[in-house]
Amino acid sequence: MKRFGEKLYQLRIRQSLTLAELGNLLEVHNTYVSQMEKGRKVPNAEMILKIADTFGIMTDHLMRDELELPEEQC
């Protein structure tokens, strides 16, 4: 899960969300989102599921470093 933060950042930027907007969607403070993106905080299983559901992707794409994020769907 070394790339988790990078992937979370990419997903947030793709959706044009601010840290605060994503924090609101995930029901956490924006600083927690920032810390996850920077790799300073590791989310628990519940948060990983919530993030995957929010962006409509599978948890494997977030957690497995060897998997890339799916292309944006139009």
**How much is the average pLDDT of 33-47?**
97
Domain range summary for the chain, segments of one domain joined by +: 4-63
* Domain 4-63 of CATH type 1.10.260.40: yes
9-15: long-range contacts at Cβ-Cβ below 8 A with a sequence spacing of 24 or more? 9/37, 10/69, 11/51, 11/55, 11/57, 11/69, 12/37, 14/72, 15/55
Going by pLDDT thresholds of 50, 70 and 90, the confidence category of residue 74 is very low
Q: What confidence tens digit (pLDDT) does each residue in 51-66 have?
A: 999 999 999 999 998 8
pTM: 0.90
Average pLDDT across the chain, whole number: 94
